[in-house]
Amino acid sequence: LISAQHPPALYRASLLRLAPRSAQGSLQLFIRRFCSLISDKSAGSDEASVDSVATAAAAVSLDKVASSLASTSTVALSASGRAQTLADLANSSSTLSQLMSMGVDLSRAERCPGAAPLLLSLDYETEFKPRFQLLLEFGCLPREAADIVSAFPSLLATPLPVIRDRLDYFQRAGFVRAPEMLSRQPTILSMSPESVDSRLARLQRLYLFSNAQLVSASTECPKIITFPMEHLAGVRTCLVKGLQLGATAARKMAVLHPPLMVSEQTRLYRNFALLTSVYKLHPDLIASNPLVLVKQPQRVAARLKFLTELNRAQFDPQLPLYTSLTKAVTGSDAEFCNRVADCSPARYRAFLKTL
């Protein structure tokens, strides 16, 4: 767009996408720098066109600029024209430096739409502290509260009564580990209690969970509360009909390993085919070790083949020389060699090179 051939309207569009919003002064400064850049790039061009760009851009309201900034993490330009992040501005902003001292990850926060202008205009004493204190009173550790703010900075613009109502819902519903759950999936707090309750009820009907099983699964994998319900239903259909394990086995697997519900169906099919066709494992044994279905198919195939060469691929707990199927596919390669294969990591690496 920085070219003499483009009309001022295009320069105005550029300003709408790029201009910092923190204050009127910073906007005017950006306009001057941008027009200077245009002038440098278009040496010899008509000065009136540059002036018209500045005039048009200066008429743009800050609200429009803020709206256009919702999807960008760039909040300002340095004197050299390098994009500045919130962390770059922390030394000159007492609010940002205080947020960092409380454990808030600014680089993570500014990736959220609209976070940069929100945090730049934030009042630490009246807007941040009351909400942070509310999280602490709810039972969050300081680190957990900071994680929630880092991943969901819009919480700082949410009215206190609304936040309190959303937190109270989880206490009423029996989520004793709610602080841990929310720190792992903070966007749950963007949902109303009615919305959360509705989704949990649908999930309970889908997998036939008891209340205790529902709370346990949601706590272990809070992503299931925000994940598309169509995906959760598709995984159950895959387990019940695609793999022909049945509704009871699907519920058992979801309780044993809740992340199964948000896994890729293609991965489930590939691992199940390997376990039943190549290794002749009974579906009941697989249902008792659901974690094996969600692992990378390449890892599962390599480790089971290696154990076969070592004569250790015996996964029935009722028979001698039993090897845990779950342990066989989890942990690092070094851990796998030490606690399952009982060999040196070098030997396993040499084997992998033959595949």
For the beta carbon of residue 14, count every other beta carbon within 10 angstroms.
16
The percent of residues above 90 in pLDDT, for the chain, comes to 68
Partners of 76 in beta bridges: 84
- What is the DSSP annotation of 74-136? --EE-TTSPEE-HHHHGGG-HHHHHHHHTT--HHHHTTSTTHHHHHHT--IIIIIHHHHHHHH
Dump pLDDT digits (tens) for 180-206: 999 999 999 999 999 999 999 999 999
Q: What is the domain partition of the chain in residue ranges?
A: 1-71, 222-294, 295-355
Model confidence at 11: pLDDT above 90: no
* Rounded average pLDDT over 210-214: 96
Q: State the chain's mean pLDDT as an integer.
A: 83
Using CA atoms, how far apart are residues 149 and 355, in angstroms rounded to an integer? 45
Dump pLDDT digits (tens) for 297-336: 999 999 999 999 999 999 999 999 999 999 999 999 999 9
What burial letters (b/e) apply to 44-54, b meaning 16+ CB within 10 Å?
eeeeebbebbb
Dump pLDDT digits (tens) for 241-275: 999 999 999 999 999 999 999 999 999 999 999 99
Using CA atoms, how far apart are residues 182 and 145, in angstroms rounded to an integer? 9
Model confidence at 146: pLDDT above 60: yes
Amino acid identity, position 140: C
147 versus 81: the higher-pLDDT residue is: 147
Question: What's the pLDDT band for 37 if we cut at 50, 70, 90?
Answer: low
